[in-house]
């Protein structure tokens, strides 16, 4: 089954540079030297390829995407969900700054570096967040970016695939056709395979009063529900941006080019008008310029878009002066407001667990071989699930994690935002205060965290509504050096309290009859510990500050609130320069981000078309 897919792609990788020819293709730098494009896009990830696809629908419009990473080579670890991780296309090694609230520990900064960006390396969970999250963006100054306005773009971005009816009934999979799209680029589906332990998890959750959500994509993403994945159900392979916004359409797009293995070093300006980019060959360091006749579009992700902006002279003028960078626009918000989701792994030994379970592919070679054979024969298989993950997730607002929500809210309200975020510019603090008020307002309605059990040894907890903020700041003038990434993890102690509430809820869940029958015994992070202070210490020692959901570092919103782009994605103080990736969000969505990045890319593409009369 995989063979068909691989062959279909070969000509896309094998194609090489010519001037604007018959087919879209990967081009090399030399062939570009005399080219001009209407649009030059920095970063070929989720947002970058979505926008490139939509703009190049018009045959008169030429588009070049410059991507730091290579094209993938159809590795199993990319295409086959059950062979997931490690993937060879991460930005590695890449470490954060020492985290002040975590004893100075440094953590890795996960992000994709390949054509397709995060969508080529992510765990493929594909879902929208609660309406409150998007409505908060609009309320925070991202005018016109709300649930209702994004809804048509969520639909436009996907082809939703219903599960087999009998299977769905047996596994309690429910959905709402009316909220889905059926002709968009991203293939979305449910794994056609499940482990018996899912029923224990489902029934245990129900016994705690957690509701079964009909469809988390309808505006209320709370409750327990089956995870939808960006997987093409025809081939059971990853549906990522390289496939759904490039390979899918190349045969008809001579006007769509990708230059891989090349860094965008900076945006070039005439005055404050963006006229192109300077690119850097990653191996030789040789630079070149390319002209963008209509617009330069930044889509390098929330870690690297602010890096490119700062290297281009857009950021705090006084900070950039210290690095010898001439200011183009004094825009202090660039690089601030970094957010992500906290991850806490919890492991249990089970004396009486089912076989098979979410650990069996790793633990039992016979089972793995059997399942792989089924997968290759296009039969339902454990390889249809992202490896080491289960099918169900619980997402809840604060009040459903703890009866103590009020004291957590009081703790949040008692913080002084300016002292939590001491180095942030005044405008950023102003915007941060407004965010905190809305977060507190929505905290008992929209999801603040998740519990997902893989039906084997691992439970994953996520705290997805951080009040802490971080930053991405350059400290060299080279695009080939990593920026300084400070997650600012749990600098607001409220975040640790919320993680604790999720952790305790998981213990209650494991103690329900449906789950305790499996004989769970916690092995980490706090086996046998009941004292709250000790548990908090164990969580601090074992949590991860990033779930690779970085966002919000070139925020859409008012300039006086630390905003970097206006509601039309244009960078303040410039013309012909926009940002379209997850950097523009005012605050992080409560669920997995990729569905929202695809939808935001669709919306941005329409905005850009409109402003150029296309």
Ligand X SMILES: *[C@@H]1O[C@H](CO)[C@@H](O)[C@H](O)[C@H]1NC(C)=O
Ligand Y SMILES: Cc1cc2nc3c(=O)[nH]c(=O)nc-3n(C[C@H](O)[C@H](O)[C@H](O)COP(=O)(O)OP(=O)(O)OC[C@H]3O[C@@H](n4cnc5c(N)ncnc54)[C@H](O)[C@@H]3O)c2cc1C
* Among residues 51, 299, 438, 499, the one that binds ligand Y under rule CB under 6 A: 299
What is the C-alpha to C-alpha distance for residues 39 and 292, in angstroms, rounded to an integer?
5
Partner from ligand X, ligand Y, none contacting 39, C-beta within 5 to 8 A by type: none
Nearer to ligand Y, 138 or 340 (CB): 340
Structure tokens at 318: 């006084």
Nearer to ligand Y, 248 or 538 (CB): 248
Query: Per CB under 6 A, which of residues 57..86 are in contact with ligand Y?
Result: 66-69
Span of 6-14, 43-51, 209-217, 571-579 interacting with ligand Y by CB under 6 A: 43-51
Query: For binding to ligand X (CB under 6 A), which residues are involved?
Result: 28-29, 171-172, 198-199, 202-203, 261-262, 268, 278, 281, 283-284, 287-289, 349, 355, 364, 366-367, 370, 475-476, 484, 521, 523, 527
224 - beta bridge partners? Answer: 212, 394
The DSSP result for 294-341, as a single string, is: EEEEE-SHHHHHHHHHHHTTEE-HHHHHTTTPPPSEE-TTTTEEEB--
Q: Is 260 in the site for ligand Y (CB under 6 A)?
A: no
Q: Is 338 in the site for ligand Y (CB under 6 A)?
A: no
Q: Is 301 in the site for ligand Y (CB under 6 A)?
A: yes
In contact, 48 and 41? CB cutoff 8 Å: yes
DSSP state of 213: P
Partner from ligand Y, ligand X, none contacting 45, C-beta within 5 to 8 A by type: ligand Y
* Among residues 63, 186, 224, 264, the one that binds ligand Y under rule CB under 6 A: 264
Least Cα distance to 417 among 582, 583, 562 occurs for: 562
Please tell me whether residue 239 adopts helix, strand or coil conformation: coil
Span of 106-114, 284-292, 351-359, 362-370 interacting with ligand Y by CB under 6 A: 106-114
Q: Min. distance of Cβ 268 from ligand X in angstroms?
A: 4
Residue 594 is assigned to a ligand binding site: yes
Residue 343 is assigned to a ligand binding site: no
Q: Min. distance of Cβ 519 from ligand Y in angstroms?
A: 30
Q: Min. distance of Cβ 367 from ligand X in angstroms?
A: 4
Q: 18-45 as b/e, with b when 16 or more CB fall inside 10 Å?
A: eebeeebbbbebebbeeeebbbbbbbbb
Partner from ligand Y, ligand X, none contacting 112, C-beta within 5 to 8 A by type: ligand Y
Query: Per CB under 6 A, which of residues 539..568 are in contact with ligand Y?
Result: 548-549
Q: Is 175 in the site for ligand Y (CB under 6 A)?
A: no
Angle between helices 147-157 and 594-611 (to 10 degrees): 100
Q: Is 308 in the site for ligand Y (CB under 6 A)?
A: yes
Cα 274 to chain centroid distance, Å, stands at 27
Q: Give, in degrees to the nearest 5, the angle at Cα 216 between 212 and 219.
A: 125
Least Cα distance to 188 among 218, 154, 211 occurs for: 154
* Among residues 113, 171, 257, 558, the one that binds ligand Y under rule CB under 6 A: 113
Nearer to ligand Y, 301 or 431 (CB): 301
Partner from ligand Y, ligand X, none contacting 182, C-beta within 5 to 8 A by type: none
In contact, 48 and 299? CB cutoff 8 Å: yes
Per the rule left: phi > 0, alpha: psi between -120 and 50, beta: everything else, 348 is: beta
Q: How many residues does the chain have?
A: 614
What is the C-alpha to C-alpha distance for residues 331 and 278, in angstroms, rounded to an integer?
21
Q: How far apart are the first and last CA of the chain?
A: 40
Partner from ligand X, ligand Y, none contacting 100, C-beta within 5 to 8 A by type: none
Cα 102 to chain centroid distance, Å, stands at 24
What is the C-alpha to C-alpha distance for residues 13 and 251, in angstroms, rounded to an integer?
13
Q: Min. distance of Cβ 48 from ligand Y in angstroms?
A: 6
Structure tokens at 235: 């081939």
* Among residues 42, 80, 539, 554, the one that binds ligand Y under rule CB under 6 A: 42
Nearer to ligand Y, 111 or 338 (CB): 111
Structure tokens at 59: 């045959």
Partner from ligand X, ligand Y, none contacting 431, C-beta within 5 to 8 A by type: none
Nearer to ligand X, 159 or 198 (CB): 198
Bridge-based pairing of strands 63-66 and 36-42 is parallel
Least Cα distance to 391 among 565, 544, 194, 562 occurs for: 194
Q: Is 47 in the site for ligand Y (CB under 6 A)?
A: yes
Give the dihedral of Cα atoms 189, 369, 77, 193; nearest 10 deg. Answer: 10
Report in angstroms the alpha-carbon separations of 246 from 15, 36, 53, 73, 186: 13, 20, 7, 15, 11
In contact, 598 and 157? CB cutoff 8 Å: yes
Under 8 Å CB-to-CB from 246, ≥6 apart: which residues?
12, 24, 44, 49, 52, 53, 115, 256, 258
Report in angstroms the alpha-carbon separations of 88 from 11, 115, 305: 22, 12, 22
Q: Is 417 in the site for ligand Y (CB under 6 A)?
A: no
**Residue with token string 């039969």:** 379
Q: Min. distance of Cβ 509 from ligand X in angstroms?
A: 14
Query: Per CB under 6 A, which of residues 576..605 are in contact with ligand Y?
Result: 581-582, 592-594, 597
Nearer to ligand X, 391 or 468 (CB): 391
Q: Min. distance of Cβ 131 from ligand Y in angstroms?
A: 17
Nearer to ligand X, 8 or 196 (CB): 196
Q: Min. distance of Cβ 309 from ligand Y in angstroms?
A: 11
Partner from ligand X, ligand Y, none contacting 46, C-beta within 5 to 8 A by type: ligand Y
Partner from ligand Y, ligand X, none contacting 2, C-beta within 5 to 8 A by type: none
Nearer to ligand Y, 240 or 432 (CB): 240
Nearer to ligand X, 130 or 198 (CB): 198
Structure tokens at 413: 């309200």
The footprint of ligand Y on this chain (CB under 6 A) covers a number of residues equal to: 41
Under 8 Å CB-to-CB from 513, ≥6 apart: which residues?
204, 207
Partner from ligand X, ligand Y, none contacting 537, C-beta within 5 to 8 A by type: none
Partner from ligand Y, ligand X, none contacting 117, C-beta within 5 to 8 A by type: ligand Y
Known binding-site positions: 114, 264, 593-594
Q: Which residues bind ligand Y (CB under 6 A)?
A: 42-48, 66-69, 110-114, 117-119, 121-125, 263-264, 299-302, 304, 308, 479, 548-549, 581-582, 592-594, 597
Known binding-site positions for FAD: 114, 264, 593-594
């Amino acid at each position: 089954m995989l063979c068909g897919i691989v062959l279909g792609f070969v000509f896309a990788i094998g194609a090489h540079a010519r001037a604007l020819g018959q087919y879209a293709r990967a081009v090399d730098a030399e062939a570009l030297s005399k080219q001009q494009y209407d649009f030059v896009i920095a970063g070929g990830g989720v947002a970058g390829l979505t926008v490139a696809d939509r703009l190049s629908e018009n045959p008169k419009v030429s588009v070049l995407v410059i991507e730091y990473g290579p094209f993938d080579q159809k590795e199993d670890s990319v295409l086959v969900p059950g062979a997931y991780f490690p993937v060879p296309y991460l930005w590695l090694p890449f470490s954060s700054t020492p985290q002040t609230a975590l004893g100075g520990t440094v953590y890795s900064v996960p992000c994709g570096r390949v054509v397709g960006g995060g969508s080529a390396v992510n765990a493929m969970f594909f879902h929208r967040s609660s309406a409150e999250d998007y409505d908060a963006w609009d309320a925070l100054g991202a005018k016109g970016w709300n649930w209702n306005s994004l809804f048509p773009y969520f639909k436009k971005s996907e082809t939703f695939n219903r599960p087999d009816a009998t299977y769905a009934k047996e596994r309690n999979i429910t959905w709402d056709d009316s909220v889905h799209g059926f002709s968009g680029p991203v293939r979305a589906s449910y794994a056609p395979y499940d482990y018996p332990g899912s029923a224990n998890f489902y029934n245990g959750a129900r016994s705690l009063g957690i509701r079964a959500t009909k469809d988390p994509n309808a505006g209320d993403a709370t409750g327990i529900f089956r995870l939808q994945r960006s997987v093409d159900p025809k081939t059971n392979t990853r549906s990522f941006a390289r496939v759904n916004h490039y390979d899918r359409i190349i045969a008809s797009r001579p006007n769509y080019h990708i230059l891989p293995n090349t860094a965008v070093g900076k945006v070039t300006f005439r005055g404050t008008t963006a006229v192109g980019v300077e690119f850097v060959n990653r191996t030789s360091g040789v630079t070149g310029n390319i002209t963008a006749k209509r617009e330069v579009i930044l889509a390098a992700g929330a870690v690297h878009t602010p890096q490119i902006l700062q290297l281009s002279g857009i950021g705090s003028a006084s900070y950039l002066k210290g690095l010898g960078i001439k200011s183009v626009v004094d825009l202090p918000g660039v690089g601030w407001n970094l957010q992500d989701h906290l991850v806490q792994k919890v492991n249990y030994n089970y004396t009486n667990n089912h076989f098979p379970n979410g650990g069996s592919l790793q633990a039992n070679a016979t089972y793995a071989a059997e399942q792989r054979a089924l997968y290759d024969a296009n039969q339902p298989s454990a390889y249809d699930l992202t490896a080491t993950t289960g099918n169900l997730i619980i997402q809840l607002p604060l009040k459903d994690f703890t009866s103590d929500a009020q004291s957590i809210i009081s703790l949040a309200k008692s913080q002084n935002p300016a002292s939590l975020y001491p180095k942030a510019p005044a405008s950023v603090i102003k915007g941060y205060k407004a965010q905190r008020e809305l977060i507190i307002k929505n905290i008992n309605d929209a999801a603040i965290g998740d519990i997902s059990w893989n039906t084997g040894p691992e439970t994953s907890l996520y705290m997805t509504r951080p009040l802490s903020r971080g930053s991405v700041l350059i400290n060299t003038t080279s695009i080939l050096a990593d920026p300084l990434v400070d997650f600012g993890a749990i600098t607001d102690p409220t975040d640790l309290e919320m993680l604790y509430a999720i952790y305790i809820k998981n213990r209650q869940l494991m103690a329900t009859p449906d789950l305790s029958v499996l004989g769970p015994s916690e092995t980490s992070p706090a086996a046998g510990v009941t004292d709250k202070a000790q548990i908090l210490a164990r969580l601090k020692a074992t949590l991860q500050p990033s779930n690779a959901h970085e966002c919000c570092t070139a925020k859409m919103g008012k300039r006086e609130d630390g905003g970097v782009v206006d509601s039309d994605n244009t960078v303040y103080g410039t013309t012909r320069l926009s940002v379209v990736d997850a950097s523009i969000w005012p605050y992080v969505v409560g669920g997995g981000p990729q569905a929202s990045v695809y939808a935001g890319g669709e919306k941005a593409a329409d905005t850009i078309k409109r402003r150029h009369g296309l």
